[in-house]
Structure 1
């Protein structure tokens, strides 16, 4: 009898240790999504994008755009693992659950020579234009420029909205960016958008 009770207690302990809260599942799914992006596995990262987004921008088009940018021979891009700063409590609105993740990330970019004909001045100008463009993006906190290597590092704080049908798992994400509000307002409730 003691063995049966001990076995049951161990099963319960193991089950409880694997049970995760909605926030833990949200964090796990977010880290998987970002992890695939860092590894440049855009097909898998797109599996974590809110499906409604692809009704506006087709998934294949998104994958192609990411592959073009990240595989450009004149540009080296590296994303570092993000640091989650805050996770809101999930809210149920219209049969779906929504939560906001605020995170910081470091983006490193370096302009590379595409051809022998490109001069140092060409590289310097491209790097300066790219730096100026990135500096104007929402969420960019700081940009460090390495003029000698035509490179820079940007620290970015961003928000994403996690969406789940059951509020526990299966979280999918969309970036909360005022520049794309006209797209995401079609499927993200106003109560959530008001928080960005």
Structure 2
């Protein structure tokens, strides 16, 4: 009986350690991705994006688009924070490990050449997308702050390290059909 108890205890500890380990590793790697995005190091940040995404949208085009977002002069855009939460259990499909999780993305943006009379209209549009409680406007600085809860999929070959990410936008469902197995998409879009 004692051996049986020790065996179950050992298996429980291994399962718990693995559970914490993959979540901690995803959190650490997603934080590194977020820090690079926040610092405007787009090309380096995209090293954390799963390479399958670049089969649909070439990396060079995505880097160019994000650099334009950051450095166009038409507006000022800042990533303030990426915070992970609510990890789903890993799914293994064709030898790849997938973990769907939620994260908060806090951004600040300012439309540099916008007439200030349009601020309220833009705020309403952002509130329609993210919820009014997640959007604020500092009329003195012209910055809109948005706190958006989003989903991402972490993908790893071994289920523990070297996680790469595909951040989910609901309007990109068709693209996700090309990138993610059905069982993962079902979890993402429920």
TM-score range (shorter-chain normalised) is 0.7 to 0.9
Is there any run of 5+ residues in structure 2 with no aligned partner, and where? 1-19
Summarize the Cα distance change of 1:149–1:180 in structure 2 as closer, same or farther, 3 Å threshold: same
The equivalent residue for 1:7 is: none
The equivalent residue for 2:6 is: none
Whole-angstrom distance in 2 between the partners of 1:177 and 1:136: 15
Whole-angstrom distance in 2 between the partners of 1:111 and 1:74: 6
Summarize the Cα distance change of 1:140–1:175 in structure 2 as closer, same or farther, 3 Å threshold: farther
If the length of structure 1 is used for normalisation, what is the TM-score? 0.77
Select the structure that is richer in helix. Answer: 2
The equivalent residue for 1:51 is: 51
Tell me the secondary structure at the aligned position of residue 105 of structure 1. Answer: strand
Match of 2:171 among 176, 179, 188: 179
Q: CA deviation at 1:82?
A: 2.0
Is there any run of 5+ residues in structure 1 with no aligned partner, and where? 1-19
The equivalent residue for 1:76 is: 76
Q: Are the aligned partners of 2:123 and 2:136 in contact in 1 as well (CA < 8 Å)?
A: no
Whole-angstrom distance in 2 between the partners of 1:82 and 1:183: 23
Deviations 1:84-123 (A, max 9, x none): 221222221111000012111221112224xxxx8xxx24
Match of 2:154 among 156, 162, 166: 162
The equivalent residue for 2:12 is: none
How many pairs are equivalent?
Answer: 169
- Greater gyration radius: 1
Whole-angstrom distance in 2 between the partners of 1:138 and 1:179: 14
| 2:103 is the counterpart of 1:103 | yes
Q: CA deviation at 1:136?
A: 4.2
Further displaced range: 136-145 or 27-36:
136-145
Q: Are the aligned partners of 2:102 and 2:150 in contact in 1 as well (CA < 8 Å)?
A: yes
CA RMSD of aligned residues (A): 2.2
